[in-house]
């Protein structure tokens, strides 16, 4: 067993885990944070994307022990005080999801994109989301959702306010 100490969504956790435990399984099975989805187990779909020290990571490609000491944000950690994060709000307002399976990974990747580039073009949004697969939407409304969030973040308007 190996000890892992991480901060997830602002809360510190310390657990003993098998060294081969993937971060996605640690988050879901040990911490009970099931918003991070397991899609393919081969890093192809992006449904398991989380932020590790601000970097979007497919959590099925990282061992939990590799995250030791890191700050991790999952989809559950985006909403604050009952208000959706602007990217979450954008997915709601612009109908950026259908079945919802890819949505957590899409949102987490979009959060990183908007932190790095607050005013991305449509092409830049599509490029940033290339590693996240959606089988339902055709991506058009996902792009609109990210554009919505970019405008919301630039305006300084709080999430939930229209």
pLDDT tens readout for residues 122-161: 999 999 999 999 988 889 999 999 999 999 999 987 666 5
* The predicted structure's pLDDT at residue 53: 98
Same-domain check for residues 117 and 63: no
User: Is the pTM here over 0.85, yes or no?
Assistant: yes
Question: Within this chain, do residues 99 and 145 fall inside the same structural domain, yes or no?
Answer: yes
58, 131 contact by CB (below 8 A) = yes
Instruction: Please give the pLDDT value at position 43.
Output: 86
Residues 6+ apart with CB under 8 A from 11: none
Q: Do residues 93 and 29 share a domain? A: no
64 has pLDDT over 70: yes
Contact 112, 92 (CB under 8 A): no
Residue 162 has pLDDT above 70, yes or no: no
Q: Does 58 fall in a domain? A: yes
The answer to whether the beta carbons of residues 105 and 48 sit under 8 Å apart is yes
Per-residue tokens: 97 = 């999801």
Supply the range of the domain harboring residue 13.
2-77
Which one of 58, 77, 96 terminates a domain? 77
Separation of alpha carbons 63 and 157, rounded Å: 38
């Amino acid at each position: 067993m190996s000890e892992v100490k991480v901060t997830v969504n602002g809360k510190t956790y310390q657990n003993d885990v098998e060294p081969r435990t993937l971060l996605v399984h640690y988050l879901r099975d040990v911490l009970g944070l099931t918003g991070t989805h397991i899609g393919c187990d081969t890093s192809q779909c992006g449904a398991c994307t989380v932020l590790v020290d601000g970097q979007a990571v497919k959590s099925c490609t990282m061992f939990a022990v590799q995250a030791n000491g890191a700050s991790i944000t999952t989809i559950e950690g985006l909403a604050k005080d009952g208000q959706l994060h602007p990217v979450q709000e954008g997915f709601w307002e612009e109908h950026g999801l259908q079945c919802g399976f890819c949505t957590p990974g899409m949102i987490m990747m979009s959060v990183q994109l908007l932190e790095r580039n607050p005013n991305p073009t449509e092409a830049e949004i599509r490029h940033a989301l290339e590693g996240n697969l959606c089988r339902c939407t055709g991506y058009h409304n996902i792009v609109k959702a990210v554009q919505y969030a970019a405008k919301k973040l630039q305006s300084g308007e709080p999430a939930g306010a229209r």
